[in-house]
Amino acid sequence: MEISLTSIFMPLTVAAITVSVLLVTRGIAFRLLHRWAGRTETALDDIIIKAFRTPSLFWCLAIGLYIGVAVSDLPEKYIFYLSKAVHVIVIMSVTVATANLAGKIFKNYIQKSGLPIPTTGLAYGILKGTVLVIGILVTLTVLGISITPLITALGVGGLAVALALQDTLANLFAGIHVLLEKSVRVGDFIRLETGQEGYVEDITWRTTRIRMLPNNMVIIPNSKLSQSTVTNYNLPEKRMSLLIPIGVSYSSDPERIEKILVEEAKKAVGEIPGLLGDPEPFVRFIPGFGESSLEFTLICQVGEFVDQYLAQHELRKRIFKRFKDEAIEIPFPHRTVYLKDSREG
């Protein structure tokens, strides 16, 4: 059956006009939506508008093709294929839009709610991947492709793939285990048993990234992390004790030393960033009697692990100045050596 130029030109013209009108309408609508979203306090409307901006282009194209096909007198088989193409465009664009929207809403909700759930690349990827797989399966069904043999083939081939990708799968499941157990979370300050320490930047499907204080990145496979001994300085809470050892002369009065140290620590609260006043600073006569000094330990609280460095720096300066003003001696280590004359006896 021959197809005349008129039967092709007419639906193409109708489709082109429809798409053009829809694109102009879309541009005006998004401009108005952006203005409206800019006046609202919530970020949810901005996320939704951004997620549907690109897929709406494909919807305009699909509607134009659909109307063009509806007014055409093309043979049934061409109409069938064009209709399937329209369905695929709509389903896949909706799938991509839904995946992006779900991921962004998930991140926004977790960040605002303050729940101890990490918005990591792994969690984000699993959520988007699930939506995309569902969309692909729906598309195959619309195209008339049975997914049962495909699932069967995947099940048989899955064993071979699992054997070939043992390390990758081990890292993937270890990452999921770390996320669910919440022993290590994004933003926590941790120390590995190998000595590296820093903030957890991200937990991906394969590795965990730790940003050290010198601004270097440690990248450790998830399987290694799950098997390592890890110190998490953010659990059970960020606040931690700071212990500062101080030695003074044996001629000093322990009661006076304790009073001075507590006074200086209390005065520093509110002046030194990160130094906390609750619970109050206190002093313990520990370790006690040293080889050349009386040894005390000043114990106070800091907001988080990295606050200890500035707090120690400032407190040591203040204590040293106070000791000088109070004429309290900080002794140098010394030993008394007795020499025995071998000629005696």
User: What's the pLDDT at 116?
Assistant: 47
Interatomic CA distance for residues 39 and 16, integer angstroms: 35
Among 98, 95, 92, 88, which residue's Cα sits nearest to residue 51? 98
Mean pLDDT of 56-80: 74
Structure token pair of residue 157: 């081939």
DSSP label at residue 225: H
Q: Does residue 118 sit in the same domain as residue 42?
A: yes
Looking at the predicted structure, is the pLDDT value of residue 288 above 90?
Answer: no
What would the pLDDT profile of 241-262 be if each residue is shown by its tens digit? 999 999 999 989 999 999 999 9
Residues written for the chain: 345
pTM of the full structure: 0.57
CA 262 to centroid of chain Cα atoms: 39
DSSP label at residue 75: -
Rounded to 10 degrees, the C-alpha dihedral 261/267/271/272 comes to: 20
CATH at 248: 3.30.70.100
Whole-angstrom CA distances from 116 to 198, 231, 236, 273 are 19, 18, 12, 26
Q: Does residue 181 sit in the same domain as residue 75?
A: no
Q: What is the largest CA-CA distance in the chain?
A: 133
> Is 330 among the domain residues?
no
Phi-psi region of 329 (alpha: psi -120 to 50; beta: other; left: phi over 0): beta
Print the domain residue range for 121. 5-145
| Contact partners, residue 39, CB within 8 Å, separation at least 6 | none
Looking at the predicted structure, is the pLDDT value of residue 234 above 50?
Answer: yes
Which residue is associated with the tokens 């007014």? 71
Structure token pair of residue 150: 């495909």
What would the pLDDT profile of 14-37 be if each residue is shown by its tens digit? 778 888 888 888 888 888 877 887
What would the pLDDT profile of 103-155 be if each residue is shown by its tens digit? 777 776 666 655 445 555 666 677 777 778 887 777 777 777 766 666 666 66
> Is 287 among the domain residues?
yes
User: What's the pLDDT at 27?
Assistant: 83
Q: Does residue 185 sit in the same domain as residue 261?
A: no
Q: Does residue 214 sit in the same domain as residue 284?
A: no
Among 205, 201, 203, which residue's Cα sits nearest to residue 217? 201
Provide the domain count of the chain.
3
> Is 339 among the domain residues?
no
Looking at the predicted structure, is the pLDDT value of residue 4 above 60?
Answer: no
Interatomic CA distance for residues 24 and 122, integer angstroms: 39
Whole-angstrom CA distances from 284 to 258, 322, 332 are 8, 19, 21
Phi-psi region of 249 (alpha: psi -120 to 50; beta: other; left: phi over 0): beta
